[in-house]
A = this chain, B = another copy of it.
Amino acid sequence: MSGQNAERLVERVVLVGFGPVAARLVDEILPAVREGRLDLTVIGAEGVAAYNRVLVADVGTGRTTGEAIGLADAARLRGDGATVLLGRTVRRIDRARRTVLLDDGTKEPFDRLVLATGAQAVVPTLAGLNPDPAAVDMLPPGVTALRDLEDAAKLRAVVGSRGRIVVLGGGILGIEAALASAEEGADVTVVHHGPHPLGRNLDPGGGRMLAAALHASGIRLASDVRSTAVAFRPRAGGRHQFHALVLEDGTELPGDLLLLSCGVRARTELAAGCGLGVEKGILVNHRLEADVEGRIFAIGDCAQVACGDGGCTVCSGSTAGPAGLIGPGWRQAEYVARRLLELAPRRQMVVAGGTTAQTQTAPLAPERPCVVLLKARGLDLASAGNISPELWDAWRPERDSGGSPPSCPPIQVTQWADPEHGRYAKMVTRAGVLEGLVCVGMPRTAAELVLLYERGAELPADRTALFRLDSVEQQDDGPAPADPDSTLCRCSGATLGGVENAIAGGCSSVEEVSACTRAGTGCGGCKSRIGELIDAYASVAVRAVPQ
């Protein structure tokens, strides 16, 4: 294609990366592509179109298939007029010439460039593992980071033969994979730093509860342990196969597969290579623009929202990197899609010189600090916000009753702990409003706390009233009536009311509801709730039939 396009009415959009966030962007702008208003080129490094990466562990444990988690169909996109390049990588971005250089030497010109390069697994520094972070693909046989469908296939083989899996790292994806693998019969050991897994998302109490649940699932925990090397054994074919993880004290933990779960790192190389700002991710402002011209956007796990304005109340206090959750990424994709459609010239008018139109689009609303939800057989865990204050930490009896009240109400911690029955709830509040929470083994209480947290609503003064949601009697009465505006699917943002309307409108399976509302298309954690709602509607409908 030619770079001389001052007269073109079709805006050329190049999308680098084809994961779930990119797929959402494609979905949103596809009508404009079909209409010929946008020219779209998608460049994906994997040989397949976008799929739901959140569910890779489920593919690895045989609970679903690669086909079932697909999020895009390359052939259909091409039929709609998009250019879809799979198994191809971008070598360089030329901002001056507005082109990207591909690995085969070809160039793709762009008017707008969207970076959705995602994140890659952190490979720990262990003797025997390639320390080059850019060479994750070079992991030796028997070692995987469980990021893509190829990794899933490796896990599937070991789980299928009920083999031994060593999980290194106590991150949420590793713990979910460990739980699912153990449930499917694999022999699992989790090795991690710190006193308990999920160290970033759990307080010590919640960590103890998690450790107990892992034990109950038959998972061995090696806590507060550092590993130094990977031992290999010879394998037919010349290459060596993972044999054992070697700990600092020389202990060898043997296994058939080493699953790395040491966190991820945003893929920022391309952005850094063309002079864009990069910290934990590609720096973007509240309009998700990575450059001052507004030609380059970054979304999803590779993007870090930080406008650089010290006085910005949205950014202040938040120096966090990408959330690593699909929900925020999807909302970014939707936002950039709207921007692209606004910026695209309309057929009936010519934007002089093709300059960036100044639009009135409001900045993307900031995400609430992320909520971590972990669901597995016998384990129901929620965590959000500031969980570091401990019971009594922040609490001091008033030393001098004659003193003036502090200008800012203090942090308060309330805690219910019943380890014998696997129940734990910690509420970190200020003036009765949650600033953080941890809840284990009390799913309905957790859902209510998350709702109150996200709304910034005040808790009841009698906090024990919340626990009634999980009491036996309450379950006999059925769940308490819920607010139709409450979020049912945290990934897609679908509300309870939206899902109920879809069911009332005729959706009679989870798949139909998902197709209609997008609820359940992310982490899948809400699918059982959707199923319950369908069942409840059906039973009410049956009862409503006249005798």
Interface set of A (CB-CB < 8 Å, partner B): 205, 208, 211-212, 214-216, 218, 221, 391-392, 395, 397-399, 401, 412-421, 429, 461-465, 467-468, 470-472
Contacts and interface: CB of A to CB of B under 8 A. Distances in A.
A299 to B, nearest CB: 40
Top 7 A-B pairs ranked by shortest CB distance?
A: A212-B397, A464-B467, A215-B397, A412-B420, A414-B418, A395-B419, A415-B417
Interface SS, A side: mixed
A468 B472 contact: no
Given A415-B415, A421-B462, A462-B471, 4 more contacts: A215-B398, A215-B401, A415-B417, A467-B467
A417 B421 CA distance: 17
Contacts of A208: 392, 395, 397
Nearest to A462: B471
Contacts of A470: 462, 464
A401 B189 CA distance: 13
B416 A391 contact: no
B395 A218 contact: no
A467 B420 CA distance: 18
Contact of A471 (B395, B397, B465): B465
A211 to B, nearest CB: 5
Given A215-B397, A395-B208, A471-B465, A417 B420 contact: no
Contacts of A465: 471
A401 B415 CA distance: 28
A461 B468 CA distance: 14
A418 B415 CA distance: 7
Most B-side CB within 10 Å, residue of A391, A464, A468: A464
A465 B468 CA distance: 8
Given A208-B395, A464-B467, A414 B417 contact: yes
B218 A401 contact: yes
A171 to B, nearest CB: 20
23 contacts: A208-B397, A211-B397, A212-B398, A216-B397, A391-B417, A391-B419, A395-B419, A395-B420, A412-B420, A414-B417, A414-B419, A415-B415, A415-B416, A415-B417, A416-B416, A416-B417, A416-B464, A421-B462, A421-B463, A462-B470, A464-B467, A464-B471, A468-B468
